[in-house]
Chains A and B, each alone.
Chain A
Amino acid sequence: MAKQYDVLFRLLLIGDSGVGKTCLLCRFTDNEFHPSHISTIGVDFKMKTIDVDGIKVRIQIWDTAGQERYQTITKQYYRRAQGIFLVYDITSERSYQHIMKWASDVDEYAPDGVQKILIGNKADEEHKRQVGKHQGMKLAEEYGMDFYETSACTNYNIKESFTRLTELVLMAHRKELDGLRLASNDELNLAELEEDGRKADGTANSKSCWC
């Protein structure tokens, strides 16, 4: 079967209920914005294939319910993620404070080397802002993450943030790929890599998620 993409990554959106995770996702994948989107029940997903430096990257983006009681179930999806968006709402101080807790969940349940990015959503609602941009930047710095303020409503920084996380994941996995190549203990993958040598650094190996 002809492959429609070169590499597959799984990204995950987490954050308090109502910060706009689903809206970010819909804006990115379908360029649509429905403020009254149905609240996410459990886990949901959307797909998109994007082009990063000439590589067709298939991203599965997993969206999670924010309510606390769902976390047992949503955490099962952390372990397979290569990139995670931690999302807060700039109009909600509380959702910003909770980022700490989300981040520690990530440390506990997501694989090592997972790429993270901090998102302050609803940047269009400046009049209701409770969390300053500098606060977001400071927090991101603490955690060593990139930071974006976004607005799903006005389509501000959406594509940029998704592309950035994808790039980070791609970069992280290139390194690992090189390491694995040196170790050369995976014959199957190596064979495929050689076959697919036209792609830079062999990242073209489809469906593989090097974690």
Chain B
Amino acid sequence: MSSQLTEEENGDDSIYDELCIDDESDEFVNNTPSDPGLKQNLNSWPNTYPVVWPLPSSEDPETQAIPSVCSSGRGSTDGAHFIYPLEVRSRTSSLVNGLLTELYDTYRNGTGSGLGLYHDSVDSSTEASGSDAFLSRSNPESAFLLELSERQSRRHQIQFLKQKDWNELKAIKEELRRRIAVQSAKLLRQLKQKDRLKHKVQKNCDIVTACLQAVSQKRRVDTKLKFTLEPSLGKHGFQQWYDALKAVARLPTGIPNEWRRRVWLTLADQYLHSISIDWEKTMRFTFNERSNPDDDSMGIQIVKDLHRTGCSSYCGQEAEQDRVVLKRVLLAYARWNKIVGYCQGFNILAALILEVMEGNEGDALKIMIYLIDKVLPDSYFVNNLRALSVDMAVFRDLLRLKLTDLSHHLDVLQKTANRESGGGYEPPLTNVFTMQWFLTLFATCLPNHTVLKIWDSVFFEGSEIILRVALAIWAKLGAQIECCQNADEFYSTMGRLTQEMLEDNLIDSNELMQTVYSMATFPFPQLAELREKYTYNITPFPAPVRSASFSGHPSKMQDSDEENDIDDDDINANSVGCLGPFSGFLTPELQKYQKEIRDYQLKTTSLSTSLKLCLLVNMAAVSAKLDLRPGLIWWSPLL
């Protein structure tokens, strides 16, 4: 048997390698396994077994279906005349028993489960014709097998067999042997098929690896890229997979839609594993049907927002079930992370995540956790959205660095608006847009396919992608914005452009992502320092207690952020220079502020009395903090 196989193994592999798996009914059979493991298995097959290999490739179903043991003509031993050694015989009988059971099952279930494999197999035409013929053949032995299978208990079967004479039994044995041969051949084919497909997958992975390396920057680490569909086991398995998929995400085509769910889940699972989460337990707790005492306030807000995701699938009567799932996911996250709870905008994030996760709430929760707890900066959605304020300030600095002209133009418009409104305060013009972009990770401003690409990238590269995408968008819109003569015109233009971005593919996703990857090296230079700077600058004191109550105005936050905005507005050139920690930061900045104040005073002599009064009140409120908060000294001469 094994020799028989090896004989057949000398086919030209390279030819078959070129063959597609969907056209290999015969070729496949002839193509031999190069897997030593499989060969080993074949060798261990009782070699007295006259398995016919390969099946005759004739078109005649009869020939195919009833391969004759004796006519195989391939040097196989004619089992009929072979005397079995005892141990082989017992082993054979157990095999026979097993196969018989399977055949009976098959017969009982029509063409069902036992032989179900056939119908899944690629070369089902051959298999189907074979098995049909096999089961419907009307020779006496078949009839006998049929009868035998009708006898349910073993005892009945034995009795039935006892009634047969020697010749009959011999014929039956032959029939069984033949059938076993057929089944063995089929099993082998399945195994080889599996082996071949595995090989094919491996080969395709190798091709992807080669492509990735070809387009990589050819650094030393790039030569270690190795693409696999799933992380392989072992210490470096995940990292290897991660690096390769990250490279795939950077390709113009990005992560294929079909992979996205699995890729995101693999990332989330790895994170949950890294923090040693008992997921079963978490699921039980977070998706608990009974409501928790602290669900109430969150629940009310969640219910208010369920139909307001911007996703049509969550509106209307028929979407009731979808809304229920969305609510469960949002509530589950709020229970998981009580500090963050529910923030408006999560409804939008969760709706998109559920879409990618095909409505699986547990999987969606994993992604929510990974995104909010791990990928995005801490406090993005809590603590008065402190980290978001930081990122908005950081973003304006990056805009100044990367798109100097546009940034300058926007500054001018803002200052003009401030002056014309006689001291009214115009927040930085980009804020209203970047805030939405950052909070919903662009889900409300770009078409879905682009958003998903961005999210893939965010998952692999981190939250700096958000800033990069925002920069790329402003760069794209820059020309139209630079035509705007005043803040009102800017807002009108942006109102129109945001609509176009969402609906009319104003932004090409490939172009966008290429800009995102090429605008700066990774990690974004100075980003960490800028984030640190503004984290300290914006909120020298977190205001947890006051911000928690509705009426307690988080005025510290408010003032400090404004201070930052003004600061940011007025120290263009210095904004990057003063990145260092606070040593040496205070004195020059103070001098600078004071100079600016004098300038500002000259400019604002026309401030109406009411505004001055208003400022005085504000100043009185914050003057107590002046010693600790250098930025506020900006205002002091007005007192």
Contact = CB atoms under 8 A, between A and B. Distances in A.
Please tell me the size bucket of the interface on B: 35 or more
Interface in A182-211: 185-186, 207-211
Contacts of A44: 432, 436
B610 A79 contact: no
A72 B432 contact: no
Interface in A105-150: 105, 108-109, 111-113
Contact of B421 (A66, A80, A185): A80
Contact of A41 (B316, B344, B611): B344
Contacts of A180: 608
Interface stretch (B102-110, B247-255, B469-477, B485-493): B485-493
A76 B608 contact: no
A38 B308 contact: yes
Contacts of B310: 38
Interface in B377-417: 381-385, 388-389
Interface of A: 1, 8, 10, 17-18, 35-47, 58, 60, 65-73, 75-77, 79-80, 98, 101, 104-105, 108-109, 111-113, 176, 180, 185-186, 207-211
A176 B608 contact: yes
Nearest to A112: B610
A163 B304 CA distance: 29
5 contacts: A18-B304, A36-B316, A39-B345, A72-B561, A207-B420
Contacts of B439: 41-42
Nearest to A100: B551
Interface in B440-455: 440, 444
Given A35-B307, A39-B308, A112-B614, A71 B606 contact: no
Interface of B: 301, 304-305, 307-310, 314-316, 343-345, 347-348, 381-385, 388-389, 420-427, 431-432, 435-436, 439-440, 444, 485-486, 488, 491-492, 495, 547, 550-551, 553-555, 557-558, 561-562, 565, 605-606, 608, 610-611, 613-614
Given A17-B301, A38-B308, A80-B424, A1 B547 contact: no
B420 A209 contact: yes
A210 B557 contact: no
Contact of A47 (B436, B495, B608): B495
Contacts of A101: 550-551
Question: Max chain B CB contacts within 10 Å: which of A41, A47, A71, A108?
Answer: A41
B330 to A, nearest CB: 12
Contacts of A185: 605-606
Contact of A211 (B308, B421, B444): B421
Contacts of B389: 72-73
Contacts of A208: 420-422
Nearest to A105: B553
B606 A41 contact: no
B488 A8 contact: yes
A101 B488 CA distance: 30
Contacts of A68: 550
A41 B388 CA distance: 12
A193 to B, nearest CB: 14
